[in-house]
């Protein structure tokens, strides 16, 4: 798929068919992720691939409870609080795979580098017909000691980008974009 088409047709996918994603495909998505630029070529990323549905269910539950009870009141808009209170709401939408891009080093560039890797991964997935969605709902709990243990991460590492991957039921229609604010400075 051409790059422009890949970029413009990538969507946050929240409904997946049950079939698994092949291991080779996951490896090729990670291969695309690590082609991202990184500050001083540090390549600070590490990838955790979770395919255990039991673990994904447990993480979803823990994240919901954490956000409901531990985040400051008012941080989440009411409609998200309503979702969190719904026992049927699964933060990973029952996707077959969660790839968590983690930073192995401290500092702002490492987080940015992991985010660039995440976009590469999502675009590579789109170009081979797979759906993805970054799940920010997972980030707070995954960053706790218990969350890092669930991902088998060393305590000093940071989960940056939790991205679900799967065969989409469909690619949803585009979400409207605001016109870009552009400041031209020519002289």
Ligand X SMILES: Cc1cc2nc3c(=O)[nH]c(=O)nc-3n(C[C@H](O)[C@H](O)[C@H](O)COP(=O)(O)O)c2cc1C
Contact between 7 and ligand X by CB under 6 A: the answer reads: no
d(CA 112, CA 114): 5
Binding segment toward ligand X, per CB under 6 A, in 18-26, 41-49, 98-106, 127-135? 127-135
Contact between 129 and ligand X by CB under 6 A: the answer reads: no
Contact between 76 and ligand X by CB under 6 A: the answer reads: no
- Residue 76's alpha-carbon distances to 65, 73, 83, in angstroms, are 13, 7, 11
The nearest distance, CB 9 to ligand X, in angstroms, is 10
Cβ–Cβ < 8 Å for 114, 160: yes
As to burial, measured by CB atoms within 10 angstroms (0-12 exposed, 13-18 middle, 19+ buried), residue 102 is: buried
Contact between 90 and ligand X by CB under 6 A: the answer reads: no
Residue ranges of alpha helices (H) inside 48-107 are 53-70, 78-85
The nearest distance, CB 184 to ligand X, in angstroms, is 26
Pick the binder of ligand X from 16, 47, 66, 134 (CB under 6 A).
134
Residue closest to ligand X, measured at CB = 136
- Contact residues: ligand X, CB under 6 A: 11-12, 14, 133-137, 175
């Amino acid at each position: 798929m051409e790059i422009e088409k890949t970029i413009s047709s990538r969507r946050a996918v929240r409904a997946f068919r049950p079939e698994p994603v092949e291991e080779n495909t996951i490896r090729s998505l990670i291969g695309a992720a690590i082609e991202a630029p990184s500050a001083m070529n540090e390549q600070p990323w590490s990838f955790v691939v979770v395919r255990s549905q039991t673990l994904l269910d447990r993480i979803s539950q823990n994240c919901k409870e954490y956000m409901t009870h531990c985040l400051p009141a008012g941080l989440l808009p009411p409609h998200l609080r309503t979702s969190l209170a719904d026992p049927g709401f699964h933060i990973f939408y029952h996707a077959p795979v969660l790839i968590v891009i983690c930073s192995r080093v401290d500092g702002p560039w490492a987080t940015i580098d992991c985010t660039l890797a995440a976009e590469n991964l999502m675009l590579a997935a789109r170009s081979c017909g797979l759906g993805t969605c970054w799940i920010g709902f997972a980030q707070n709990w995954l960053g706790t000691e218990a969350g890092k243990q669930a991902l088998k991460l060393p305590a000093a590492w940071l989960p940056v980008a939790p991205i679900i991957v799967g065969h989409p039921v469909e690619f949803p229609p585009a979400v409207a974009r605001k016109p870009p604010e552009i400041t031209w400075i020519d002289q």
